[in-house]
Amino acid sequence: MAQIGESPHLQRQIGFWSAVAVVVGSTIGSGIFGSPAGIAEKMPGPLPMLSVWVVGGLFALCGALTLAEVGGAFPYAGGLYVFLREAYGRPMGFLFGWAQLLLIRPAALGAVAVIFGEYALRLGGLDPDSAEFARYATYAAIGALVVVAFANVRGVRWGTGIQNVTTILKTGGLMALVVLAFARGLPGNTAHFTPAVPAGSFSFAPFGLALVSVLWAFDGWSDSTYVSGEIADPRRNVPRSIFLGTAIIIAVYLLANLAYLSVLSVGEIAASKQVAADVMQGLVGPAGLAFIVATVMLSTFGTLNGSMLTAPRIFYAMAEDKLFFPAVARVHPRYHTPYVSVVLTAAIGIVFVSIGSFAQLADAFVTAMVPFYALAVGSVFVFRARAKRGAATPPGELPPTAAESGEEAAVPDHPHYDPPVRTPLYPFVPALFILSTLMLLANAVMDGASRWPTLGTFAAILVGLPVYWATAGRKGGISHG
């Protein structure tokens, strides 16, 4: 017999607005500052460029509306890992954790940490063309990882406190850019919006590749599910935080892109290495440049902290299920945090920052996450079908029983699927998300430039299956004795 529930050592200390800050703060990072140039290069027209962001937002919203239902039904530490394990079994849960450990989390932590380091040095006045810049940026990135790891070991309130502050500051910084651009840039630059669709500015293959970059910018819309074992009143707050957080992100991103276009032409955006900095410098001079550099630094630091708050819960939940080393499930006796998992996550980031050769592979690593998003969203069909048959959660897919762990059961064994909210326009919303995912992956495989990185990413994920059967797939899983 098995039972599902959060560890009794993890406490529900995260309120609604902190959960929203986890979603918004984990998502708004480097993407909105770094992705527009590449997107404008692939979609060299105002409407095609903006349409990529609209479609990416619709994609994220469909996923958010679906996972609001599933997350409310399974509000436990681990988020997507729990959904995948409960819908498809332990091997799929392990594959997700394997991909997070090997590809997804290192890419996210490493890329964002390096960008933080570069902007921190720029704010400090160091010349980006100097010989020492890259080395010092690496040191700053490692320092940032150490700081956020310490904060998230020290306590959930420390981690969410940093998340709340940085989310407010970076969202405020972007909104300041938007207001200035609309007030001072738009009146004289309406020509940047015409012609809306220049000849040759749209084709499907470049659109799909541009959408990958947009998904990098949107990645994080489901992050509150990872800490739902510590969210207060989770059946109410988990769905609401996913939906509201995603809506805020979509609005901020669309406004930011309109602001960029009101000051710079599509061609100028495509040629810009730091579009937000160029916009602010054009609007208010050097002071604007310093302001946006500080905003990007805060933004990436907040994203790092969000990742350090959420990712360790995946490895922690796996360890509780005997799918990972048992020590990773340890919870600090005083701070009530999964401190071993936090340290492991920080170490992964530090190793990849030190290697420094993975940043250009970020798109391929984003591709690694897309199939798992599709499967997590698809789990709603599995759970609803199971509920319609009157079937409970299958035995053997859940964590150890309360009797085995020596703790009082939080909920009955094998609970029925009972979500607090339902996905609107079901089944069209989850089906649209899954269809979009399949089209995106097919486009990545068919495109010559992205084919081999994409296939290599999938091969690395599938290596997890023999690893599973050789370790956690054995009877009893990885020993906790």
pLDDT, residue 175, reads 93
Q: What is the mean pLDDT of residues 4-21?
A: 77
**Mean pLDDT across 66-86:** 94
Whole-number percent of the chain with pLDDT over 70: 88
- Model confidence at 480, pLDDT cuts 50, 70, 90, reads low
Mean pLDDT (the chain) is 85
Residue bearing tokens 């840039």:
185
Could you give the count of Cα atoms lying within 13 Å of 176 in the half-sphere of its Cβ?
16
pLDDT at residue 56 greater than cutoff 80: yes
- So what's the pLDDT on residue 60? 92
pLDDT, tens digit, 9 for 90 and up, residues 175-209? 999 999 988 866 666 778 888 888 888 888 888 88
pLDDT digits (tens, 9 = 90+) for 343-402: 999 998 898 888 765 445 555 566 788 899 999 999 999 999 998 887 655 544 444 433
- Bond from prior residue into 427 cis (ω within 30 degrees of 0): yes
Residue 411 scores a pLDDT above 60: no
Q: Using 50, 70 and 90 to split pLDDT, how confident is the model at 10? A: confident
Question: Can you give the pLDDT at residue 406?
Answer: 36
**pLDDT over 80 (residue 337):** yes
pLDDT at 5 over 90: no
How far apart are alpha carbons 42 and 35 in whole angstroms? 11
**pLDDT (mean) for 409-432:** 77
pLDDT for 374:
94
Indicate whether 48 pLDDT > 70.
yes
- According to the model, what pLDDT value does residue 367 have? 74
pLDDT at 477: 63
Residue 230 to residue 36: CA distance in whole angstroms? 35
> What predicted TM-score, i.e. pTM, was given to this entire model?
0.85
Identify the band that residue 405 occupies on the pLDDT scale cut at 50, 70 and 90: very low
- Among 476, 424, 445, which residue's Cα sits nearest to residue 62? 424
Give phi and psi for 231, each to the nearest 5: -90, 130
CB of 435 closer than 8 Å to CB of 62 = no
What integer is the mean pLDDT of 113-135? 85
| Cα gap 190→356, rounded to integer Å | 41
Query: What is the b/e burial string over 93-111, where b = at least 16 CB atoms within 10 angstroms of the residue's CB?
Result: bbbbbbbbbbbbbbbbbbb
Residue 2, pLDDT above cutoff 60 = no
Q: pLDDT tens for residues 202-259?
A: 888 888 888 878 887 888 889 999 999 899 999 999 999 999 999 999 999 999 999 9
* Whether the Cβ atoms of residue 295 and residue 277 lie closer than 8 Å to each other: no
Least confident of 41-55, 167-181, 322-336, 466-480: 466-480
Cα–Cα separations (whole angstroms), residue 325 to 267, 315, 341, 396, 477: 51, 9, 10, 19, 10
Amino acid at 254: L
Average pLDDT over residues 421-427: 95
pLDDT in tens, 305-317: 999 999 999 999 9
- Percent of the chain residues past pLDDT 90, beyond the cut: 48
| pLDDT (tens digit per residue) in 442-475 | 877 887 777 887 888 889 899 999 999 988 777 6
**Average pLDDT of the segment spanning 72-101:** 93
| Side chain identity at residue 13, one-letter code | Q
Q: Where is 41: in which H helix or E strand?
A: helix 31-42
Q: Name the more confident of 195 and 93.
A: 93
Q: Strand pairing partners for 14?
A: 231
Going by C-alpha positions, the residue among 425, 346, 340 that lies closest to residue 142 is: 346
Give 233's DSSP letter.
Answer: S
Contact between residue 26 and residue 166 where contact means Cβ atoms under 8 Å apart: no
Q: What is the pLDDT of residue 3?
A: 41
Q: Is the pLDDT of residue 153 over 90?
A: yes
pLDDT at 325 over 70: yes
Spatial CA neighbour of 177 closest among 71, 105, 126, 252: 252
Which residues are 231's β-sheet partners?
A: 14
Residue 297: pLDDT above 80? yes
